[in-house]
Amino acid sequence: MATKKRYNFKGLDDIFGESVVDVVGKIENDKKLNEEAKSYIDINILKPNPYQPRKVFDDEEIIELSESIKTHGIIQPIIINNDNEIVAGERRMRAAKIAGLKTVPVIIINLSKVQMEEFAIIENIQRVDLLEIEEAIAYKQLSNSLKLKQEEISKRVGKSRSHIANIMRLLNLPDYVQEALLEKKLTMGHAKPLLTIISDEKLLLNIFNKIIKEDITVREVEKLVKNKTLEEVSTNKVKNINPNLKNMENKLMRKLGTKVAIDSSKIAIKYTDIDDLNRILELLGFIEE
């Protein structure tokens, strides 16, 4: 086996600034770098990225890729770290094994554990087929594991902070709703109205069960949430609550995606943390993205 070549970077920040979003494309599209830094190693010593969030790979796609590799070989080297852990190219590695390759081209770069984890999560976020709930979970990983605030996550993934805040609101839903989203038993469209009734656990569960059992549409879910609110208006008439104020309260809750209470003298808008407050202020037009 040929001696490993190492393309030594002090850190991704030295090449790509504060973000690692474009690191793979930058390396893989640099033909000169591919030739200078590429070496061949035993495929059996390669290991998955331990921080890889994606555990399931499409078998059909892997088989199709293996057929292409049999004909054309691996065009883009697999990127690994000094511990032979795959930074990018696990699909290529899996397909190459099916194709019967004993050695594969690699580019070896120095990455810290923190960079490995950040890269794996961000690469996962960039998937075309990523579900909104998977995106929310990935942002939570960046926040918890790397201690990043939403503003910092925004810079790293190239998406607005308000988008990140809105997506992460899905994590406020009960676990059974999140599981259903992951299993594609309901859509983001179904989930959004449920966010406005999180405080009413019984109602949320009843509507969720109706979605699953009867396969109702998003519009029907919205009507169920709205009709429940109208029932509350009828019940609250004895309390002399102005129905026009209640109607405006309902509209604000749907627009802001949070609990709103209006009476004759004040408006109360519920928020969970400073990021959620900023999201609401952006929706109201008080601050810009």
Catalytic residue of the set 85, 90, 117, 134: 90
Q: DSSP 3-state assignment of 79?
A: strand
Q: Report how far apart the first and last C-alpha atoms of the chain are (Å, whole number).
A: 53
Beta-sheet pairing, 78-80 with 103-109: parallel
At residue 23 the predicted structure's pLDDT band, cuts being 50, 70 and 90, is low
Residue 170: per-residue pLDDT: 93
Instruction: Report d(CA 66, CA 269) in Å as an integer.
Output: 55
CB 86 within 8 A of CB 49: yes
Domains in the chain: ranges and CATH: 6-111 (3.90.1530.10), 241-289 (no CATH)
Least confident of 1-10, 81-90, 214-223, 252-261: 1-10
Question: What does the buried/exposed string (b/e) look like for 152-168 if buried means 16 or more CB atoms within 10 Å of the residue's CB?
Answer: bbbebbeeebbbbbbbb
pLDDT digits (tens, 9 = 90+) for 192-205: 999 989 888 888 99
Residue 131 CB neighbour total at 10 angstroms: 16
Which of 95, 23, 111, 32 has the alpha carbon at shortest distance from 60? 95
At residue 121 the predicted structure's pLDDT band, cuts being 50, 70 and 90, is confident
Q: What is the dihedral angle through the alpha carbons of 84, 85, 89, 91, rounded to the nearest 10 degrees?
A: 110
Residue 85: per-residue pLDDT: 92
At residue 277 the predicted structure's pLDDT band, cuts being 50, 70 and 90, is confident
Average pLDDT score over residue span 61-88: 88
More confident residue, 58 or 20: 58
For 46, residues 6+ apart whose C-beta sits below 8 A from its C-beta are 78, 80, 84, 85, 86, 93, 104, 106
Residue 111: per-residue pLDDT: 79
Instruction: Please tell me the pTM assigned to this model.
Output: 0.59
220 is catalytic: no
pLDDT digits (tens, 9 = 90+) for 176-189: 999 999 888 989 89
Owner of token pair 């899905």: 170
The token pair that represents 211 in the structure block: 């979605």
